[in-house]
Structure 1
Amino acid sequence: MRLENTGIEDVIMDLKPLDHLTGKHAFIRAGQWDYDRVTYDYRIDSKEKNITYYIRIQGYTVEGDVDSGNAVIKLATPLLGKHYYPHGVEYGENESFPENLVERAVNLVSKIKEEMVQYKK
């Protein structure tokens, strides 16, 4: 599910402050990057058996590269997904999400967006 109108779509930031800011809010980049893309995930455990939810913030480089640490990243629309063990994460429009989970996802992304003001290019 796309989390539309969060305010972070098309934000442009340097990689290091973006890593810091997302990490501060428990979004993990870990090995989810290549030279021209980054992905930050926030895991939400579920009481449902074998179901885990993820909030995903993605971006791509507009300058530099991620490996060198000097990239400038343009963010995309965040996503809310449901992980089905062992198949993977689904973000499709056919997925259903509890309303309180969607609110939580929007609130988390909003907190990050509020703090981005000091780092935006």
Structure 2
Amino acid sequence: MIEIPSKVEGLHFDLYKLEQLLKPLGYSIGGSWEYDHGSFDYKIDDEAGYQFLRIPFRAIDGQLDTHSCTVKVERPYLLSHIYESGLDDNASIGNTLTSLNQFSEPVDKDASFPEKYIDIGKSLVNELESVLLPD
């Protein structure tokens, strides 16, 4: 994981409005949301795993699954996930009431980040600042 300091850290946004600003730029809602925190992810590449710029945030007014939730943006960071090829040895199939998780667990969910993408990540943070910061 490589942190990228940004001027958007600590700023507050309506979550719905933030999502409307970030999705056209290529960000998607990151996995593993909780009621009080989550992230937006920008997939930089999928070479030998996945390389992302992650924009984490915390709810400061309301819960993430409600309208009018206000969030505080935290420090962006770059991360890599490297996955096993093939099926997950620990995958299980439940009955019709449970879900099937067919995806492999990461071999290294905090893999080293390829240096060639660091400047791309910094450029993405600059773009993020230009969209989110008032003039």
Q: Which moved more, 1:14-23 or 1:24-33?
A: 24-33
CA distance in 2, matches of 1:77, 1:99: 19
> After the TM superposition, which residues 35-46 of structure 1 pair with which residues of structure 2 at under 5 Å, given as runs?
35-46=35-46
> After the TM superposition, which residues 1-121 of structure 1 pair with which residues of structure 2 at under 5 Å, given as runs?
1-29=1-29, 32-48=32-48, 51-85=49-83, 86-88=104-106, 90-91=109-110, 96-118=112-134
Partners of 1:6 and 1:106 within 8 A in 2: no
Scaled by the length of structure 2, the TM-score of the pair is 0.72
Partners of 2:61 and 2:70 within 8 A in 1: yes
The unaligned stretches of length 5 or more in structure 2 are: 84-103
Percent of pairs with identical residues? 26
> Which structure 1 residue ranges, 4+ long, deviate > 4 Å from structure 2?
none
Scaled by the length of structure 1, the TM-score of the pair is 0.79
Q: Which residue of 1 aligns with 2:90?
A: none
CA distance in 2, matches of 1:33, 1:69: 16
CA distance in 1, matches of 2:105, 2:123: 28
